[in-house]
Amino acid sequence: MTRRNSGLFRRFVWLLAGTVLLVVIVGVIVQRLVAGESLRAEVTRTEVLKVLVADSLLREAGRDADPAQVLGAVEMGFRRDRPTGDPPPMRFWNEVARGLDERLPGRSVGVLGRGSPQIHIRALPPAQGWIVFAAGNLRESASAGPLMVLVASIAIILVCAAWQARKLTLPLGQLAAAAPHIAAGIRPPVLADKAARELVDLHAALAAAADAVRTQSKDRGLVLATLSHDMRTPLARLRLASEIAELDARIRDGMHADIDELDALIGQGIAIARDGPEEAMQRVELVGLLRELVLSRQRSGIEWTLEGAACSWLHGKPQALRRAFGNLMDNAHHHGRPPLVLRVGESAGTLRVEVLDGGSGVDPGVLDQLGRPFLRSSAGGGVERSGLGLASAVRIVEEHAGEIGFYNRETGGFAAIVQIPSARSGS
């Protein structure tokens, strides 16, 4: 099964999200480089102040005071020997120690401890030993303000960009949905006043194409109507002449059959002309339409069965749809055998109508040719005589943005399967 390509809106959002993520990563790296230096300077200043406080306390306490007791009052310690232990895992604290050495030259600063680092520095005379205190808490020193601002900015950017992307892609989606109906001469819906210039130009081009199709269809209908009148008059004279002339019965019957076939072809040509865009699109209840076709044929003695009947709606032209499904049903009746079945289903927004017969099917070699104008396959064989019924049905279905396929059934018989977009009953 072929995977469906993602929409323009989703691609735009993913592109924007990827770009923002890249900007965030670069920003975090730069912020760590810049803010790291600022944080080291701030921590170094704090630790220098602690040392200056300890020096001041020891100096005021005098030579006879116990340094450990004096510094204990401010949660600092004093040791006679230089502390030993493992260095901290973070290079940050080693750089802080170098900063203290630069600020307090000759004091032999060191940092030890893996869990909670401690700084030790040689005390000034007359004290003999080392001042020891806990290193500052980085979580307290580092501010979360810039990070919060960054996160909030990203959220605002994504929301605004998604809103703009939706405004851009919504009209494009409307035009894409309207494009299949251009062949039926239906103009696309009017866009919003502030739609992008390129979308306005595309809308104008599609509208012009729909107008051209509608004009050509009217001209074609006029030509076919004229031909119908001009051709049926001579056919009537030929029929009358064959009745008056003294002809062999077989010859007369053959002439009448040919005249009837020509008259039927003319009627089919007129029907195709009527399949144009003049009929307005409206909401159509498909099952009810098919039920009417079944009942009309049952009144003529042709037994049809409607299966899977449920209320199914679509946007379409009722008369054109009647002609399309009527042609398919007539084809099944004339070239197939009972049972004749109409089977209706709906899945994923698509209506599916199967026109089934129990005949012998058609030659597989001509299946892909069915639906072409002036071509008809005989039951179980090759191409028989000209016909427009299937061609008219194919054209009508395609004008409703649908598709039609012709198949030989595995269980025997022939199937014409129509798939056409549905419309919700509440829309």
Question: Is the backbone peptide bond immediately before 117 cis, with ω within 30 degrees of 0?
Answer: no
Q: Letter for the amino acid at 421?
A: P
**Residue 351 CA to its chain's centroid (Å):** 20
Domain with residue 395: its CATH number is 3.30.565.10
pLDDT at 386 (0 to 100): 43
pLDDT at 299 (0 to 100): 92
pLDDT at 177 (0 to 100): 80
Of 367, 296, 307, 360, give the one whose Cα is nearest residue 330: 296
Per-residue model confidence as pLDDT tens digits over 286-333: 999 999 999 999 999 999 999 986 788 998 889 889 999 999 999 899
Predicted model pTM? 0.51
pLDDT at 198 (0 to 100): 80
- With 60 as the cut, is the pLDDT of residue 360 above it? yes
φ, ψ of residue 44 to 5 degrees: the values are: -60, -45
Domain-embedded: residue 212: yes
pLDDT at 398 (0 to 100): 86
Domain-embedded: residue 173: no
- If asked whether residues 106 and 212 sit together in one domain, one would say no
Task: Look at residues 123, 141, 159 and tell me which one is the last residue of a structural domain.
Answer: 141
- If asked whether residues 266 and 302 sit together in one domain, one would say no
Q: What's the chain's average pLDDT?
A: 80
Domain with residue 258: its CATH number is 1.10.287.130
pLDDT at 201 (0 to 100): 85
Question: Is the backbone peptide bond immediately before 339 cis, with ω within 30 degrees of 0?
Answer: yes
Domain-embedded: residue 176: no
- If asked whether residues 330 and 266 sit together in one domain, one would say no
Residues near 290 by beta carbon (within 8 Å), at least 6 away in sequence: 306, 325, 342, 344, 353
Q: Which residue has the tokens 């080291």?
A: 40
- CA torsion sign, 74 to 75 to 81 to 85? negative
Domain-embedded: residue 182: no
pLDDT at 9 (0 to 100): 64
- If asked whether residues 289 and 386 sit together in one domain, one would say yes
Domain-embedded: residue 167: no
- If asked whether residues 290 and 257 sit together in one domain, one would say no
Residues near 165 by beta carbon (within 8 Å), at least 6 away in sequence: 9, 12, 13, 16
Task: Look at residues 242, 272, 302 and tell me which one is the last residue of a structural domain.
Answer: 272
Top-confidence residue, 284 or 228: 284
- If asked whether residues 53 and 13 sit together in one domain, one would say yes
Dist. CA 129–CA 21, nearest whole Å: 52
Task: Look at residues 272, 305, 333 and tell me which one is the last residue of a structural domain.
Answer: 272
The domain of 253 spans 197-272
Average pLDDT over residues 207-219: 82
Domain-embedded: residue 171: no
Dist. CA 161–CA 164, nearest whole Å: 5
The number of distinct structural domains making up the chain is 3
Residues near 364 by beta carbon (within 8 Å), at least 6 away in sequence: 408
- With 60 as the cut, is the pLDDT of residue 425 above it? no
**Residue 153 CA to its chain's centroid (Å):** 28
**pLDDT band of 382, cuts 50, 70, 90:** very low
Taking residue 172's Cβ as centre, other Cβ atoms within 10 Å add up to 18
Domain with residue 124: its CATH number is 3.30.450
CB 371 within 8 A of CB 383: no
**pLDDT band of 34, cuts 50, 70, 90:** low
**Residue 359 CA to its chain's centroid (Å):** 42
Taking residue 313's Cβ as centre, other Cβ atoms within 10 Å add up to 19
Average pLDDT over residues 4-33: 68
Domain-embedded: residue 174: no
- If asked whether residues 286 and 416 sit together in one domain, one would say yes
Average pLDDT over residues 36-48: 79
- CA torsion sign, 179 to 185 to 189 to 190? positive
- If asked whether residues 342 and 368 sit together in one domain, one would say yes
- If asked whether residues 235 and 202 sit together in one domain, one would say yes
Dist. CA 87–CA 91, nearest whole Å: 9
CB 185 within 8 A of CB 210: yes
Taking residue 70's Cβ as centre, other Cβ atoms within 10 Å add up to 18
pLDDT at 361 (0 to 100): 86
Domain-embedded: residue 155: no
pLDDT at 140 (0 to 100): 44
Top-confidence residue, 281 or 354: 354
Q: In terms of residues, how long is the chain? A: 427
- If asked whether residues 258 and 284 sit together in one domain, one would say no
Per-residue model confidence as pLDDT tens digits over 49-103: 988 998 898 888 888 888 888 888 888 999 999 988 888 877 778 888 888 888 8
